[in-house]
Homo-oligomer: A and B are copies of this chain.
């Protein structure tokens, strides 16, 4: 299987983390899937992804002390494989795993994704649990000094141990049986532990063997630019930032990160700017809030993510979408850049302003994105000499957020609000 065909354009979907943290349950997942099928699917949104700790008991119950309760009960089969906790996912009972939920989602013509942590459960290693397809046991492939610095569930696997590949193979065999379409593997992208690089290869091999086109997403970032070839060769998307949230201080460095990774966006290979922090957020974190970005900052985020062609994963609970946010997430012209633009390139970047261009792949047109990083409305000059190399054909063009036609002259500068952006097709 050619993994680059699993995701020809950047994946678009919903992820449970930003709103639910570790607490999301089956009912909530279904509600989001139903909403997506009805209201968002036609705009390209298709993945429903359950994030971290679906296997854990009592998740969220010690939120004052722990995001991830250490040394706690997790659901696990006899082969050291984590299963959905039936407290949260009743349909998983009798060892059915995520199969029923995946089927529900597939019946809505959507795709189903899950999050996993790199490695093998600590509980399995201490209990010497079996591994499917080998006579080695969990303690023989687990590395006691290879841990995640922020989550206590797993031990990393010794890549050279007999049985290590068998373990990863057994995971994806199970996920293929369930009908999983997308796996976000965590504690692996940043390669905090040296084995991570080899474990990415093992994930790739396991997917190749499982016979199902499962998109592989790596987290958390920042990914290491000097390992770009490795990500491109073995994965479909990789996070280029640590967890992104709705703060300008986090949005600002995304311009530098996108500059860094711009030459690496290709079919089946997508540097990932992380979830869209829009709408209602944070309920599972214990203090639900409304997105802290100004409307202009939201437009800036989406403009950058779209012209760069990052995967897009919505972080809010979809059933709570307000009209403004829904409007952002259903702008066909803007979202269209994911599926029919290419060659995006930063033209200029200073502390005050940023300019990007790209080309449409379906018609003879180009895109021009202009960002004002200042705290006040500013005139951002168009660097025509560079922009014109993008084969700009249409003038007047269309500003895609407002939908208005814009007569841009060569000497023009564009007026942009504080922290805002304009995106022209021309």
Q: How many residues of A contact B (CB 8 A)?
A: 31
| CB within 8 Å for A71 and B125 given contacts A148-B145, A152-B144, A225-B226 | yes
B225 and A142 within 8 A (CB): no
Q: When chains A and B are docked, how far (Å) is the Cα of A148 from the Cα of B2?
A: 41
Question: Across the interface, which residues of B come within 8 angstroms of A71, CB to CB?
Answer: 125-126, 128, 139, 142, 144
User: What residue of chain B has the Cβ atom nearest to residue A124's Cβ?
Assistant: B71
Cβ-neighbour of A144 out of B142, B147, B263, B389 (below 8 A): B147
Tell me the A40-90 residues at the B interface (CB within 8 Å).
Answer: 70-71
- A148: which B residues are within 8 A, CB to CB? 145
Contacts of A260 in B (CB 8 A): 226, 228-229
- Contact present for B229 and A259 (CB under 8 Å): yes
- Residue of B at shortest CB range from A137? B71
Instruction: List the B side residues contacting A136 at CB < 8 Å.
Output: none
CA distance A394 to B192 in the complex (A): 44
Contact residues in B for A122 (Cβ distance below 8 Å): 126, 144
Say whether A149 faces chain B, with CB atoms less than 8 Å apart.
yes
For the complex, is A32 an interface residue (Cβ under 8 Å from B)? no
Whether A325 sits at the interface, judged by CB under 8 Å, is no
Which B residues lie within 8 Å of A358 (CB)?
none
Q: How far is the CB of A155 from the nearest CB of chain B, in Å?
A: 9
Least CB distance from A76 to B in Å reads 13
Given contacts A71-B125, A122-B126, 7 further A-B contacts (CB under 8 A): A70-B139, A71-B126, A71-B128, A145-B148, A145-B150, A225-B225, A229-B349
Binding site for B on A (CB under 8 A): 2, 70-71, 122-123, 125-126, 128, 139, 142-145, 147-150, 152, 225-226, 228-229, 259-260, 262-264, 346, 349, 385, 389
Interchain Cβ contacts under 8 Å between A and B, 11 examples: A2-B385, A70-B143, A70-B144, A71-B139, A123-B126, A145-B149, A145-B150, A225-B225, A229-B260, A229-B346, A263-B264
